């Protein structure tokens, strides 16, 4: 969500900058400055995306698709901003702009982006308040909405161990639905393994439910797991009943469940390990 908000804020920044340039500069010069800012942001975005290769080379080697679905996160964003600023100043010098003419549009653009981000974040946070423990405890309803008690189930793991969701009480759980043929799932898997390896297994659990009814056979899944040395529990949804019950229509789909068995968030799409850590840290 925060990256979506940032994207909208950047569009707001472009809009304000365009209006200011139309009023303060000649048409030709204003267009050149605006195009330079757009190109700077574009290069900053490429650096942000590509920074994952620099910051997490092992993840990219294990799953090249990570470059498509993930970014370098906050650290990568900082690198992208620095790269965008360097590009802008270099191009601005070529246009023979004075220091004042370079600084002014830069500050206006950054101010508009930051203001847009702050206001959008404020509005969206108010519309989607966090579920408090007290309100969830009063709900008592079984369902998939935030604040509901998660539907219970029991499935067999890849090593023939039965796991029941209600048996996870006392632990915070990320419940993930995936398949071996799903490209974003493949990109997400290394992040899941890295996340799982750093967690206290007495407090946090990661349950990866394979939609086995969509696979060729269970051997395909076992081979996939063995090749990637996955250590978190892999559960077989042989009939597809659990996937249907949890509305895992688009995969990967994940649910964040707190230590009391209450659904705190539904996430559609791949997550990186930093996002998983943030989600776990934000619940009891």
Give the DSSP per-residue string, 118-165.
HHHHHHHHHHSPPPPHHHHHHH--BSSSTTSBPPP-EEEETTS-EEEG
Task: Report the pLDDT value the prediction gives residue 5, as an integer from 0 to 100.
Answer: 83
Mean pLDDT of 22-47: 91
- Answer yes or no: is pLDDT of 219 > 60: yes
Convert the pLDDT of each residue in 174-218 to its tens digit: 999 999 999 999 999 999 999 999 999 999 999 999 999 999 999
Task: Report the pLDDT value the prediction gives residue 134, as an integer from 0 to 100.
Answer: 43
From the list 179, 185, 181, 183, the residue with the least C-alpha distance to 243 is 179
- According to DSSP, the residues that pair with 173 across neighbouring strands are 205, 257
Contact 246, 131 (CB under 8 A): no
Residue scoring higher pLDDT (12 or 121): 12
Percent over 90 (pLDDT), the chain: 61
Task: Report the pLDDT value the prediction gives residue 67, as an integer from 0 to 100.
Answer: 85
What is the set of domains in the chain, with CATH numbers? 2-127 (no CATH), 141-281 (3.40.30.10)
Contact 109, 16 (CB under 8 A): yes
Rounded CA gap, 84 and 38, in Å?
A: 10
Contact 252, 182 (CB under 8 A): yes
- Answer yes or no: is pLDDT of 125 > 70: no
Rounded CA gap, 202 and 143, in Å?
A: 25
Which tokens go with 139? 């709900």
Task: Report the pLDDT value the prediction gives residue 71, as an integer from 0 to 100.
Answer: 85
Q: Confidence band (pLDDT; 50, 70, 90) for 136?
A: very low
Kindly report which listed range (111-120, 129-138, 222-231) carries the lowest average pLDDT score. 129-138
Which tokens go with 71? 């970014």
Q: Within its chain, how far is the Cα of 92 from the centroid?
A: 34
Average pLDDT, the chain: 88
Q: Confidence band (pLDDT; 50, 70, 90) for 126?
A: low
Give the DSSP per-residue string, the chain.
-HHHHHHHHHHHHHHHHHHHHHHHS-HHHHHHHHHHHHHHHHHHHHHHHHHHHHH-HHHHHH-TTHHHH---HHHHHHHHHHHHHHHHHHHHHHTT--HHHHHHHHHHHHHHHHHHHHHHHHHHHHHSPPPPHHHHHHH--BSSSTTSBPPP-EEEETTS-EEEGGGGTTSEEEEEEE-TT-HHHHHHHHHHHHHHHTS-TTTEEEEEEE-GGGSS-HHHHHHHHHHTT--S-EEE-SSSHHHHHTT--SSSEEEEE-TTSBEEEEEES---HHHHHHHHHT--
Task: Report the pLDDT value the prediction gives residue 129, as an integer from 0 to 100.
Answer: 47
Residue scoring higher pLDDT (79 or 131): 79
């Amino acid at each position: 969500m925060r990256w979506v908000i940032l994207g909208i804020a950047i569009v707001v920044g472009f809009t304000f900058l365009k209006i200011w340039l139309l009023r303060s500069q000649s048409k030709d010069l204003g267009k050149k400055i605006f195009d330079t800012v757009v190109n700077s942001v574009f290069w900053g975005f490429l650096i942000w995306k590509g920074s994952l290769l620099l910051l997490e080379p092992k993840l990219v080697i294990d799953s090249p698709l990570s470059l498509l679905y993930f970014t370098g996160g906050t650290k990568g964003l900082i690198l992208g901003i620095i790269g965008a600023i360097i590009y802008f100043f270099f191009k601005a010098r070529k246009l023979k702009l004075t220091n004042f003419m370079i600084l002014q549009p830069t500050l206006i653009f950054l101010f508009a982006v930051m203001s847009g981000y702050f206001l959008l974040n404020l509005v969206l946070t108010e519309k989607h308040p966090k579920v408090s423990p007290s309100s969830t405890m009063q709900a008592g309803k079984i369902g998939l909405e935030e604040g509901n008690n998660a539907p219970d189930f029991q499935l067999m793991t890849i090593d023939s161990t039965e796991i029941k969701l209600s048996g996870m009480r006392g632990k915070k759980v990320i419940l993930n639905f995936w398949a071996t043929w799903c490209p974003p799932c493949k990109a997400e898997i290394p992040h899941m393994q890295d996340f799982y390896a750093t967690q206290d297994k007495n407090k946090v659990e990661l349950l990866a439910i394979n939609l086995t009814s969509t696979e060729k056979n269970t051997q395909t899944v076992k081979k996939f797991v063995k090749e990637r040395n996955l250590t978190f529990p892999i559960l077989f949804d042989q009939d597809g009943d659990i996937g249907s019950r949890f509305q895992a229509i688009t995969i990967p789909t994940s649910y964040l469940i707190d230590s009391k068995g209450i659904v705190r968030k539904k996430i559609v799409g791949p997550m990186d390990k930093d996002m998983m850590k943030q989600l776990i840290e934000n619940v009891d």
